[in-house]
Amino acid sequence: MPAAHGAVVIGLLPAATAAAAVLRAKERPSRAFWWASAAGVVAVIGFVAISAGGIAALQPADLLLVAAVVSAAIGYAEGAMLSRELGSWQTICWALLVSLPVMVPLTVVGAASMIEANHRWPEVGRQAWLAFAYLATVSMFLGFFAWYRGLAIGPISRVSQIQLVQPVFTIVWSALLLHEHLDWTVWAGAAVVVLCAATAVRSRVRM
How many domains in the chain? 1
pTM: 0.72
- Determine what percent of the chain falls in helix, strand and coil, rounding each to the nearest 5: 80, 0, 15
Determine the average pLDDT of the residues in 106-126: 82
Answer yes or no: are the C-beta atoms of 155 and 207 closer than 8 Å.
Answer: yes
Mean of pLDDT over the chain: 79
Instruction: Report the pLDDT value the prediction gives residue 102, as an integer from 0 to 100.
Output: 94
Instruction: Report the pLDDT value the prediction gives residue 168, as an integer from 0 to 100.
Output: 72
Instruction: Report the pLDDT value the prediction gives residue 5, as an integer from 0 to 100.
Output: 60
Instruction: Report the pLDDT value the prediction gives residue 155, as an integer from 0 to 100.
Output: 81
CA pair distance 9, 66, nearest whole angstrom: 7
pLDDT over threshold 60, residue 153: yes
197, amino acid identity:
A
Percent of the chain at pLDDT exceeding 70: 77
* Chain segment 2-25, per-residue pLDDT in tens: 665 666 667 778 878 888 888 877
* Chain segment 44-89, per-residue pLDDT in tens: 677 666 655 555 555 677 778 888 888 988 988 888 889 988 998 9
Instruction: Report the pLDDT value the prediction gives residue 89, as an integer from 0 to 100.
Output: 92
Instruction: Report the pLDDT value the prediction gives residue 8, as an integer from 0 to 100.
Output: 63
For residue 45, the enclosing domain spans 3-206
CA pair distance 54, 47, nearest whole angstrom: 10
Task: Identify which has the larger pLDDT, 161 or 76.
Answer: 76
pLDDT over threshold 80, residue 194: no
Residues 6+ apart with CB under 8 A from 88: 144, 145, 146, 147, 148, 149, 152
Cβ atoms within 10 A of the Cβ of 32, count?
Answer: 13
pLDDT band, residue 26 (cuts 50/70/90): confident
Instruction: Report the pLDDT value the prediction gives residue 197, as an integer from 0 to 100.
Output: 66
Instruction: Report the pLDDT value the prediction gives residue 134, as an integer from 0 to 100.
Output: 92
pLDDT band, residue 186 (cuts 50/70/90): low
Determine the average pLDDT of the residues in 129-138: 91
Distances (CA, A) of 1 to 11, 48, 63, 101, 110: 16, 14, 12, 29, 20
pLDDT over threshold 80, residue 105: yes
